[in-house]
Chains A and B, each alone.
Chain A
């Protein structure tokens, strides 16, 4: 019995011993910083490593900077699990839909002072519209390293095959509207059997991507202060009725449970961010990138963002904040702009972005990116976003059947999420 107790005690103590072995205590020597990203793209990592190497060369207090790519799907869950498991990174990319939770919870280190005091940083160069989501009470908690508007990629070969005019022509004639886009999508589907319009990453679950459509109707998921549900507003009912008709009546968009990848030539048009243009490098079809079609309330823009922050529970928050200031200074921001549209006014030029996006013409960059960053509406986000996300997804499911009562579903949706919005 005594032996058994001893054994149990030894087994229980084992994790403590393991933890002590793995801790790598803070002895005041050079530190290793770790940053989580959701990009495992080799070019992205090479660029990040280049910036990190230059920093380490001048900063003996940092001996290494590791970039730790996590899968995009489940990124925020993995990050929070690492934090819960006492294995938090020093710096982390943060998705826009997680921004309110991270910014308001105290999970991130305030950055304004560090950035403003860094020599040559040009803090005032940051575009206010781009940093809004990442600020609280005028304090900046994360740097929006990617501020990328949504546009419409178009397979002009498929449109021509269906006898439809290219969107560029429609834009020139002032006729580039959702109604015309759906008409063209339906024509492509009828003529070729290929799908018409795909709102990328929506797939009947990622509903926040539908803001790229409903913003054109003046609708929004909730009021600006986040307190009131906007799904039962007449504008939203009209926008989603339009979408419902496009799917089930006109068959201009693939229905639920059907996958179609524009970049593999399986759809005529897709709504997504410009950063996907790289997927078209070897496209066997002719394509164009145009701004989102106008809705009933006119032209509009929607932007997706990603922030970079230092975690409060990071092992080395001070060194991490200093590296963040270096990584996002004007010189390095220009490097980052190769892949991610920067939030710096001085760098939002077709010339800078053009070096980074050789597949896009200066005109495309001007109309789809630069002109839109100031006026763009950021995709919906709210504190408790994960729970809201799930609740809205579940409540929207009944909408995606041919005989759905759109207004009825949306009224019920608001009943379901009102308690979450009120928190």
Chain B
């Protein structure tokens, strides 16, 4: 068995280093090991780069381009309109309500998702019987198709659905969840949290298991209680994971669509019309692709700003980074 530290050159006898190889004519050869290395590197990243260019960078550029146009899909009109769509965005009377709903959804989702995920991870990190079963149970919704999951919840949440049936069996009368402005928002948030909390839970579990046991042992000897150990050891040690999950969850919360479409259709009234849904309505229902693209530029800007802020804030509250 070879030592794990021993390395062999994948290029066989080819000499390493930057010095050009001498060709048969004695001139420095063009086809050097360095060039070969570079080409191999580009070849490895080419598929990913091509995919990113084709499906991310190009659409992103087109989105900006479309947002500068008045695009009447039905009549086939595509006219440059400059900043007209952006002026309309500034004056759009529906936008403040849409942004409020988006903020309410994101704040509710992130707060509930992260705290529940952390709580579950801590509970399931105990050395108790059956934790593996519970981990599987909490993670399994992540593997379920989003729309199927949401449709089942729509049936459960309707006025004569399973949730209210359960409540009435317990002697309580439940509200018409998806028809009240507040209850509809709460329902959409909870359905989404239950769907995805397992993913954050697994990330937290991995982070918790990476915290060295010696730290806890030492602090226990020093007389630290459970809460102090959590606040002074656990939280700082898993802070990089908290940052990661926070960014993923915030960005994900701003892109919620299927749940809104299936559960509430943006209603009642416009209580759950979040930015992505409003964008979809404008582009695909009202056939106004130019304004829809302008709204996606706004969404892109919001996601970008929030991510940059969170990334900057890591200096303050992320204690160590690997």
Contact = CB atoms under 8 A, between A and B. Distances in A.
Contact of B267 (A14, A102, A393): A393
Nearest to B50: A11
A217 to B, nearest CB: 25
Interface stretch (B67-75, B127-135, B216-224, B304-312): B67-75
Interface stretch (A122-130, A255-263, A267-275): A255-263
Interface stretch (B114-122, B194-202, B239-247, B281-289): B281-289
B160 A101 contact: no
A276 interface: no
A324 to B, nearest CB: 18
B179 A256 contact: yes
B74 A80 contact: yes
Interface string B177-192: 1110000000000000
Given A7-B49, A107-B75, A397-B267, A81 B284 contact: yes
A423 to B, nearest CB: 12
Contact of A313 (B76, B161, B267): B76
Contact of B159 (A7, A256, A394): A256
Contact of B49 (A11, A77, A259, A384): A11
A136 interface: no
Contact of B178 (A14, A257, A390, A393): A257
Contacts of A15: 54, 58
A84 B289 contact: yes
Given A84-B73, A384-B286, A394 B266 contact: yes
Interface in B41-58: 42, 46, 49-50, 52-54, 57-58
B270 interface: yes
Q: Looking at A11, A259, A384, A398, which has the most chain B CB atoms within 10 Å of its CB?
A: A11
A338 interface: no
A71 interface: no
Contacts of A384: 286
B34 interface: no
Contacts of B269: 394-395, 397-398
A349 interface: no
Interface string A377-395: 0000000101100100111
A400 B177 CA distance: 13
B176 interface: yes
Contacts of B178: 257
B158 A257 contact: yes
B236 interface: no
A397 B287 contact: no
A312 interface: yes
Nearest to A10: B50
A166 B201 CA distance: 60
A57 interface: no
Contacts of A8: 49, 53
Nearest to B53: A11
A387 B291 CA distance: 13
Contacts of A101: 74, 287
B159 A255 contact: yes
B165 interface: no
B38 A3 contact: yes
Given A84-B73, A386-B286, A397-B269, A7 B42 contact: yes
Contacts, number: 99
Contacts of B160: 257-258
Given A390-B281, A397-B269, A105 B75 contact: yes
A12 interface: yes
A83 interface: yes
A220 to B, nearest CB: 23
Given A106-B75, A257-B160, A14 B50 contact: yes
Contacts of A12: 53, 58
A83 to B, nearest CB: 5
A390 B285 CA distance: 9
B268 interface: yes
B268 A105 contact: no
Contact of A394 (B58, B176, B270): B270
Given A80-B284, A105-B72, A258-B159, A11 B267 contact: no
Interface in B232-278: 265-270
Contacts of B50: 7, 10-11, 14
Given A3-B38, A312-B76, A386-B286, A14 B176 contact: no
B54 A257 contact: no
A205 interface: yes
Interface of B: 38, 42, 46, 49-50, 52-54, 57-58, 71-76, 158-161, 176-179, 265-270, 281, 284-287, 289
Closest A-B pairs by Cβ, 10 of them: A11-B53, A257-B159, A107-B74, A397-B268, A105-B74, A257-B158, A77-B284, A105-B75, A386-B285, A84-B73
Given A11-B50, A14-B53, 14 more contacts: A3-B38, A8-B49, A14-B50, A77-B284, A80-B284, A84-B71, A101-B74, A255-B176, A257-B158, A312-B76, A390-B266, A393-B265, A393-B267, A394-B266
Interface of A: 3, 7-8, 10-12, 14-15, 76-77, 80-81, 83-84, 101-102, 105-107, 204-205, 255-259, 312-313, 384, 386-387, 390, 393-395, 397-398, 400-401
